[in-house]
Structure 1
């Protein structure tokens, strides 16, 4: 079983990308059909612009995943490249969240109308909140473990009782960085 991990990753990537394609096609088809059939009076140019603008990130991310993670094969049928792991943590995970959230917004907009597009604010709002907390965390103390008093002055970290006893006895000293 040579290259079993590569074969497993290629099969998993191909299956997930195919499922993503089918779900994306069905979500967008559902939106266009429901809006044309039931909401034809509100199916205006602004509605189409909102749809195009707010569904574009998920479509671009899906294309990016296809380019990055679609397995490639040689002429003989062996795996040339399995692609990147679609279950990776970090940015890949965040991009999947954007895809899923936009699918939900498209379905809700198809069912209840254009007001559902306001739910899309949650994505940049969450990103801004995370960026702000990271920025304030880095600015606040540099991650040194200290805390700030009421006046905003940094205070040194207090040693635990065990560390204080050890230092009092002259034993093992703790070096602070």
Structure 2
């Protein structure tokens, strides 16, 4: 049972990568079939340009997560976890949105390519909210600027704090 977690991760990664590649192959084959036969108005330039990020990310995930084995069949490296949060999760979102966008283009036509702008819009939104969150947390550490807070003006204090202020300030500790 040595390296059971690594073996489980290797099997899960292999299965998910195989499934992802088959779905991608099917989606692109259907799009190209429709483009070449029924809907020749679908733009090949936009297809290549806007499918490239999803394909590049998919091949990057392949390189990152594909397990490698020794010549004797034992596991050398299980690969990175494809369910990891953060950047890996965002890359999966791009792959999924590329698939959704391809379906929408096949159904609705070339105007659906504009929906691909959701990805950069979300990235900008996430960056701005993260930056403002970091800025406000640093402002709290540094004193917050020039305006006094509600707690320093006597508002928002507990009754105990208000009574202590009336008696002359903070409670003093007597040492023996």
Q: Do they superpose with TM above 0.5? A: yes
Alignment correspondent of 2:53: 57
Instruction: State the distance in 2 between where 1:166 and 1:26 align.
Output: 72
Question: SS of 1:80's equivalent?
Answer: strand
Residues 65-107 of structure 1: CA deviation (Å, up to 9, x unaligned): 1111100000111100000000000000011001000110011
Alignment correspondent of 2:108: 112
* Structure 1 stretch displaced more, 129-138 or 68-77: 129-138
- The higher radius of gyration belongs to 2
Alignment correspondent of 2:158: 161
CA root-mean-square deviation = 2.7
Aligned residues: 165
Instruction: State the distance in 2 between where 1:166 and 1:75 align.
Output: 77
Name structure 2 gaps, 5 residues minimum. none
* Structure 1 stretch displaced more, 60-69 or 156-165: 156-165
Instruction: State the distance in 1 between where 2:18 and 2:125 align.
Output: 33
**1:37 deviation in Å?**
2.0
**Counterpart check, 1:103 vs 2:96:** no
Instruction: State the distance in 1 between where 2:4 and 2:83 align.
Output: 18
**1:39 deviation in Å?**
1.0
Alignment correspondent of 2:8: 8
Alignment correspondent of 1:30: 30
- The normalised TM-score by structure 2 is 0.82
- The normalised TM-score by structure 1 is 0.82
